Structure 1
Amino acid sequence: MRVRGATGVSTSADDPATVIESAGALVWRVRDGGLQVQLIHRPRYDDWSWPKGKVDPGEALPTTAAREVTEETGKPVSLGLPLPGLEYLTPEGRVKRVHYWAATRVHSRSPAVTARAPVPPVDPAEIDDVRWLGVDEAAGRLTRAADRIPLEALIEEHEKGRLATTALVVARHGKALARTSWHGDEASRPLTPTGHAQSAALVPVLAAFGVDAVVTSRWRRCADTIEPYSRAARLESLPSEYVTEADHERSPSRVAALIRALLEAGAPSLLCTHRPVLPTVLDVLGQHSRRSVASALPTKDPYLEPGEALVTHVTQSAKGPRVVGVEKVLPPLH
């Protein structure tokens, strides 16, 4: 049994003949001052475990986690901090990797759930019991000892006041037409077909992290990148002049102020911007991060690939907002 770290999300594919990728979550809540988690019982194996399942073709890992939890518990969730995953050999000799997040329930009419694909009801032949348990009872109820590893991490984050988070997602716009191939003004340079595909691929990832507010550069390639999510979630995006390339060059301080405002708002949000703007964005995020998280932020140009998202997990502390986790997600194209 090997424990996998959870500082980031990789969507690169290993050999599917030998590696089974799966994802799930530890759904948590606080009741009467105590931390509780949700376990499922599978009659086929007669075991108690965390909701999880295999990655479907074309799915990013966070999308799988949110979908599988809903399929197995009957309730939609929003993903929070990544937790340690597990890696082990199946009886058939294949490597199985399980990726975990902390998660909380979200209302079925929230914008993020509206943006998700429909999920079938719980199949009682697969899951015949779902229970909320205190963490000590849950640790004793889990069938496999290794499943206590992500639970221990969840408890530690709770004890340190870092478990209750919201996501601030920073996305670089999808692949755009080359400057040399475009004869219009820079603000209207469009996405390529690949860029449009990347925009569509972002939708289920943003939904998995519960995004319910969207801020974007006014320039076309950014506005078009977030349009599929805004449409699916039935959200009005907030276009901003501050995060265009030209306005950032004139006043980086306005970009910094916008990022601070988004951090302080404490709402699951998306910012879509351009590569030259990212150093300012990352600098502000680093100023609000603990050291280990700041060191995990991208440091080399291009910082994010076209269509890639940086998911930061933000908690509100007595000293203001703190970034307590970060992961990069590049959704696979169908």
Structure 2
Amino acid sequence: MMKSILSVRITLLHCILVLVIVACNKVDHAEDAPGQNQNNTTNATDSSITDSTYTINYPPVNVTTCPSAPNYGDSIVFIKPKLGADFILDPVNNKGTSGTYLSWPEGLQLNQNTGAINLSKSETGIRYNIAFIKKGTTDTCVSQLIVGGLTYLDGIYILDQNDTLALPIFNADPFAAPVCNTSNDTDYPDNNGNGDNKCTFDDDAPGQRANDQKLRVRTKSGIINLKRSVADGLFGKNPKDGAKKMLQIRYALNDASQKASQKISVQVIYYDKASSIPTNLQQEVTTKRANLFQYKIVNGKPRPPLLIIAGYTK
């Protein structure tokens, strides 16, 4: 059985040779597709398909050159408010065509047989690759899809260099203008901040808000004040190196999502000095930032965003 999911790291010519040899194995054994669960969804955890015999690498092929590449009507899609049921998005092509759908990176709840995406249970604000392998062929057609929403830029924030604010990134585009209004350091729930007609952040039930645990999320802009979070006791009175918190932020945006309720979890880690941050964490942050700024698919797990706070440089 094949264990993990997909890579886009080799040239098209090389990939064609690989696919001719082995891609039919992917189609013939679709019931064994990696990441499949009891609901026939895939949740990629890696960017390559590997087992003890071989590795298959798939090139991204766009819709114009590969008509079977999954098409959801637009290059960016949004969750919408829906009472009593999940919001499901179906592909507009490949109707009645048998085959296997796959996606990467991790976070998209995709029906492997139909290509339907459960946006209510997917991570939003991420750029995904979605692949379709038509039954009986060796063609692997891949398209990109952005699920609208927000993330935070993975980073090392050094407080003594006045690097104190984590800014939200909307729709997987680090250069896009903010969807929300600006706000200042008085905009927190305990200062009667509750969002505005554009955006609402951390508007959860009292006791369940990120701000209740001292992660200082502004309610109009979604900006996180990391310096104030530490000062207010996010990691206690005397933070220790490696102290970490995983916190959820609920939000709603006045954009194409029509203020649908969404959420994101962020991981915040504290070190007294930037020089004390382990090399593997520095590498993870560097790689994820580079991928985001180059509009590349994030390898592995784009969620949660990793916010590393260092009090001093050295």
TM-score when normalising by structure 1: 0.29
Which structure has the highest helix share of the two? Answer: 1
Query: Which protein has greater RCO, CA pairs closer than 8 Å, 6+ apart?
Result: 1
TM-score by length of 2: 0.30
